[in-house]
C-alpha cells in the first residue's frame, strides 16, 4: 500500500489517511503502508508477518500507530516494524512517528522519532483506538463470521 505520489510531489503534504481494522499476514514483505508526506493514522490492525518492514515512510510523513498488534517474523533481522526509506537518522529523527498502546510480540519493535508532543498528531488521529489486546479476539470473531457467511 503505497500512499503518496513521490517524495518530490509536495501537494501530498495535505493528505490524511486512516489504515484501520486490517489483517496483514503471510506473504507480505513491506508497505503496510509506505507513506510519503501527509498524516497517517494506523489503528487497530493485526500485523502477523512481514519480511522487511511493516510501516515505512519518506518525505517527512506523520505516523500515529495506535492499538495495533505487531507479531514479528522469526527472522532476527526483520523485527523492526518501521523503516525510514532513503533518509539518514539526522533527517528522520525530527519526523513525527509514534506508537501508542501497540502490542509487540516475538521481539517486534517500533522506532519512534521526535519525542515532542506534536499538534500534527491531531491530523493523524481519525478515531479512538481500541486496546491492542482485543485485536486477536476481534480477528478470530471476524474469521468465524466469514465461515458462517460462506454458501454451502
Report CA dihedral (126, 45, 33, 92) to the nearest 10 degrees. Answer: 70
| CATH number, residue 132 | 2.160.20.10
List Cα–Cα distances, 10 to 4, 5, 93, 115, in angstroms: 9, 9, 20, 25
Cell numbers at residue 102, please?
501497540
What count of Cα atoms within 13 Å lies in the side-chain half-sphere of residue 126?
Answer: 16
Annotated catalytic residues are: 31
Into how many domains does the chain fold?
1
- At 75-114, the pLDDT tens digits run 999 999 999 998 999 999 999 999 999 999 999 999 999 8
Q: What's the pTM value of the predicted model, to 2 decimals? A: 0.85
Domain boundaries, position 131: 2-149
Amino acid at each position: 500500500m503505497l500512499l503518496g505520489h513521490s517524495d518530490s510531489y509536495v501537494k501530498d503534504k495535505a493528505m490524511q489517511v486512516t489504515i484501520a481494522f486490517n489483517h496483514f499476514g503471510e506473504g507480505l514483505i513491506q508497505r503496510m503502508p509506505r507513506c510519503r508526506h501527509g498524516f497517517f493514522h494506523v489503528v487497530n490492525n493485526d500485523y502477523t508477518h512481514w519480511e522487511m518492514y511493516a510501516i515505512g515512510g519518506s518525505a517527512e510523513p506523520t505516523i500515529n500507530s495506535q492499538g495495533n498488534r505487531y507479531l514479528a517474523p522469526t527472522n532476527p533481522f526483520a523485527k523492526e516494524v518501521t523503516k525510514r526509506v532513503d533518509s539518514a537518522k539526522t533527517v528522520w529523527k525530527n519526523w513525527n512517528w509514534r506508537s501508542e498502546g501497540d502490542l509487540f510480540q516475538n521481539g517486534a519493535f517500533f522506532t519512534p522519532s521526535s519525542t515532542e508532543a506534536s499538534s500534527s498528531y491531531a491530523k493523524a488521529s481519525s478515531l479512538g483506538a481500541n486496546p491492542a489486546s482485543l485485536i486477536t479476539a476481534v480477528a478470530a470473531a471476524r474469521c468465524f463470521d466469514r465461515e458462517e457467511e460462506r454458501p454451502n
